[in-house]
Structure formats: C-alpha cells, structure tokens
Amino acid sequence: SAVISQKPSRDICQRGTSLTIQCQVDSQVTMMFWYRQQPGQSLTLIATANQGSEATYESGFVIDKFPISRPNLTFSTLTVSNMSPEDSSIYLCSTRVNTEAFFGQGTRLTVV
C-alpha cells in the first residue's frame, strides 16, 4: 500500500497568484498522477509525472499553467499558476501500487 500526504488541505488565493501543492508518498513509486475535480464534476486527469522526465499533460492542460515537479520517487508538486476563479477546484494527487490506486487527501482551492 501507499500513504500519500498532500498539503495544503485547503487555501483561498487571490487571482493572479500561484499556489504549489505538495504530495509526499511513504514509499517509492514510479508514476504519480494529478487530478482536478471542479464543483459538481468528476475527476479529470491533468498530467502524469514520471521521475526524471517531463510530465505528460492531458488535452486542455499545459505546462505553463500547471508546472509539475517530480524530483524523486516519493515526492511531487503541482503549481497552479496565475490563478483565476475558474481554477477553484479540488486537486488530488494519486499513485498506483500493484493493482490499487491511492489518493492524497486533496487540496480544496478557492480563488477570489
């Protein structure tokens, strides 16, 4: 199994600023995934982060807006840049260990 510590758990930010979300895994994992869940919607994959290489972004998401770091096999960050109210969402990191997926506790972001 894997335990993921995600922080911050929530934040309220001014538009135009940036927020970095961190996820720490208690074991080494190959892939980490970042999701967004906008109000009333399901989880949407933002990008997949593999240690030592650039993240792979899904359609509709770009590196300039959501830069991701993956400096080692236990840690990853997602930055939400130049925020607007439309970025208000829950952001979740996730990983896989064998056949099971594990999630961080989520970050509830409100942009005002």
Binding residues for another protein, per CB under 8 A? 31, 33, 35, 41-45, 48, 50, 56, 90, 92, 94, 96, 99-106, 108
Of 65 and 108, which has the nearer Cβ to another protein? 108
Bridge pairing between strands 10-13 and 107-111? parallel
Minimum Å gap between C-beta 45 and another protein is 6
> For residue 83, what are the contacts with CB-CB under 8 A and spacing of at least 6?
13, 14, 15, 16, 17, 18, 19, 109, 111
DSSP assigned state of 81: -
Please tell me the distance from the alpha carbon of residue 70 to that of residue 77, in angstroms, as a whole number. 7
Of 13 and 43, which has the nearer Cβ to another protein? 43
Of 14 and 99, which has the nearer Cβ to another protein? 99
> Taking a C-beta distance cutoff of 8 angstroms, is the pair 107, 100 a contact?
no
Minimum Å gap between C-beta 43 and another protein is 4
Minimum Å gap between C-beta 101 and another protein is 6
